[in-house]
């Protein structure tokens, strides 16, 4: 009995990455290495206005003076920033009006990933911006969005067509010198998504960006900016994969969200970067800064993430609750397996009155992995009657992995309430026996229980994504479909 259980856990911890293929496509790349010239090169390639170049150069100056953060519960091998290619784009003119003009290889790549760029083939209700290596390939459903005055395009296009909006909001939530990886991103980011929902508009479709790292030796540095004006609403989805490679690839992204009065932004991520092989060789370093600013009163920003990929994850989607009565939420399922390491969580900064935040984090560790929750809840003096509830649970599958919880609570206001709860456990023998007694085999039982455990978070995902996430969770833990 004990043996079968161990065998299954072993199987469970040895799943294969399904998106490991590589697309052979002609690329336009910059020489590897990082210096002012490379930054000027990127800016020139993208025909950027001067304010952009200045933003980049300033960030680069800051970055040079900074050191990599070392406080996370991660073992990060040294990264040679001069060995990375900071710009890689498909050679064919990347942004096209018709699908016919897109390189068929690219189309096929996204089809293989289950992301059809053909609007006819897609389920209605999701507009996609596909980012291949550093460049946005195609944004679907442009016409529908235009009708509502919604801007959803690649970041490069936004710089060209809406420089005022970019200038106003870029760096307003995550300043160029915020942290080491954000500064690096600010200096060299190549593309990403831009999304603007005008006042009073409820975006009729889900907006989605799909990120794919393809080329060898490239880093991916995309930047996403979402602005929801007064009373606007948008639900935004992000997905990512990368080919299977022996070397590590760096992904340092920045996501900024601004929500004005009464606006609501829901941001969902299914992160499935290549996690490396079962011995820990290769895989993506996912060092991402995501932050939302609830600028206006009664605004709301909600982060939902399902993290199954990456060799190392360093990521803390956060909310600054500036407006009175604003709400911040963070829902996370993080699965680590084999030699993966994750240090992820959230930061909720309460500044406005009556602000509310919720953190629900479910960590699942298997194999030899280490999975940490790290979160900060900060209640400032002014944040009267604020409230936070955090729950961080860890589930351990096997006895060679680690699950850690590092919550930080700083409170300076006496009318606020902060509550943190956390548990760490394994699947209980009683639960397993109960399932077995009803004729459900061990593997299915583990699947059932793990999915049940993650349900609170999965139900936050938009329908279409939830199915994908559930599948992913199943693949990551092999055959654990509920």
Residues engaged in binding other proteins (CB under 8 A): 1-2, 4, 71, 73, 379, 381, 394, 396-426, 428-431, 433-442, 444, 448-449, 451-456, 482
Nearest approach, Cβ of residue 342 and other proteins (Å):
14
Nearest approach, Cβ of residue 387 and other proteins (Å):
9
Task: Name which of 278 and 455 has its Cβ closer to other proteins.
Answer: 455
Q: What is the largest CA-CA distance in the chain?
A: 69
Task: Name which of 1 and 44 has its Cβ closer to other proteins.
Answer: 1
What one-character-per-residue DSSP string does 183-251 give?
HHHHHH--B-EEEEE-TT-B-SSEEEEEEE--STTB-B-BEEEEEE-TT-EEEEEEEEE----SSEEEE
First to last CA, the chain: 22
Q: 135-139 and 126-132: which strand pairing?
A: antiparallel
Task: Name which of 215 and 337 has its Cβ closer to other proteins.
Answer: 337
Task: Name which of 90 and 447 has its Cβ closer to other proteins.
Answer: 447
Measured distance CA(327)–CA(319) in Å, rounded: 9
Nearest approach, Cβ of residue 324 and other proteins (Å):
17
Nearest approach, Cβ of residue 384 and other proteins (Å):
8
Measured distance CA(429)–CA(327) in Å, rounded: 39
Task: Name which of 252 and 458 has its Cβ closer to other proteins.
Answer: 458
- Per the CB < 8 A criterion, the answer to whether 126 and 144 are in contact is no
Nearest approach, Cβ of residue 356 and other proteins (Å):
14
Q: Mutual orientation of helices 180-188 and 36-45 as an angle, nearest 10°?
A: 50
Measured distance CA(30)–CA(270) in Å, rounded: 29
Task: Name which of 68 and 119 has its Cβ closer to other proteins.
Answer: 68
Nearest approach, Cβ of residue 429 and other proteins (Å):
6
Task: Name which of 73 and 281 has its Cβ closer to other proteins.
Answer: 73
- Per the CB < 8 A criterion, the answer to whether 101 and 234 are in contact is no
What one-character-per-residue DSSP string does 84-117 give?
SB--EEESS-S--SSGGGS-HHHHHHHHHTT---
Neighbours of 135 (CB within 10 A): 24
Tokens (6 digits) for 33: 């290495």
Nearest approach, Cβ of residue 79 and other proteins (Å):
23
Nearest approach, Cβ of residue 379 and other proteins (Å):
8
Task: Name which of 82 and 428 has its Cβ closer to other proteins.
Answer: 428
Handedness of CA 181, 186, 192, 193 (dihedral sign): positive
């Amino acid at each position: 009995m004990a043996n079968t259980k161990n065998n299954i856990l072993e199987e469970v911890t040895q799943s294969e990455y399904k998106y490991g293929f590589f697309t052979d496509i002609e690329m336009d790349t910059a020489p590897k290495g990082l210096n002012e010239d490379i930054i000027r090169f990127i800016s020139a390639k993208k025909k950027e206005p001067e304010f952009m170049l200045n933003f980049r150069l300033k960030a680069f100056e800051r970055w040079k003076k900074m050191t990599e953060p070392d406080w996370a519960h991660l073992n990060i091998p040294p990264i040679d920033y001069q060995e990375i290619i900071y710009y890689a784009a498909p050679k064919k003119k990347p942004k096209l009006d018709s699908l016919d003009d897109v390189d068929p290889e690219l189309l096929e790549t996204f089809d293989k990933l289950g992301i059809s760029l053909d609007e006819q083939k897609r389920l209605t209700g999701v507009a996609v911006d596909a980012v291949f290596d550093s460049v946005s390939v195609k944004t679907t459903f442009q016409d529908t969005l235009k009708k509502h005055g919604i801007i959803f395009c690649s970041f490069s296009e936004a710089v060209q067509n809406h420089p005022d909006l970019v200038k106003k909001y870029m760096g307003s939530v995550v300043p160029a010198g915020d942290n080491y990886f954000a500064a690096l991103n600010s200096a060299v980011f190549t593309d990403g998504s831009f999304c603007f929902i005008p006042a009073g508009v409820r975006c009729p479709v889900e907006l989605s960006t799909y990120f794919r790292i393809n080329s060898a030796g490239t880093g991916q540095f995309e930047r996403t900016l979402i602005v929801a004006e007064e009373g606007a609403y948008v639900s935004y989805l992000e997905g990512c994969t990368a080919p299977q490679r022996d070397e590590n690839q760096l992904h340092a992204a920045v996501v900024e969200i601004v929500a004005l009065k009464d606006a609501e932004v829901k941001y969902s991520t299914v992160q499935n970067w290549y996690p490396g092989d079962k011995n820990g060789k290769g895989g993506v370093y996912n060092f991402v800064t995501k932050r939302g600013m609830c600028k206006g009163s009664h605004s709301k920003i909600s982060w939902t993430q399902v993290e199954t990929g990456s060799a190392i994850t360093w990521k803390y989607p956060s909310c600054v609750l500036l407006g009175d009565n604003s709400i911040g939420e963070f829902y996370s399922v993080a699965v680590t397996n084999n030699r993966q390491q994750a240090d992820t969580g959230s930061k909720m900064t309460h500044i406005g009155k009556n602000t509310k935040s919720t953190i629900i984090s479910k960590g699942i560790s298997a194999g030899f992995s280490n999975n940490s929750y790290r979160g900060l809840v900060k209640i400032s003096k002014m944040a009267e009657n604020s409230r936070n509830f955090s729950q961080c649970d860890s589930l351990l599958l096997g006895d060679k992995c680690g699950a850690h919880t590092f919550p930080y609570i700083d409170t300076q206001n006496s009318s606020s309430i902060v509550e943190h709860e956390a548990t760490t456990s394994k699947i209980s023998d009683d639960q397993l026996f109960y399932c077995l007694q009803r004729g459900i085999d061990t593997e299915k039982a583990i699947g059932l229980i793990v999915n049940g455990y993650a349900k609170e978070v999965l139900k936050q995902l938009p329908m279409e994504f939830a199915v994908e996430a559930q599948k992913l969770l199943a693949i990551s833990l092999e055959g654990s479909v509920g």
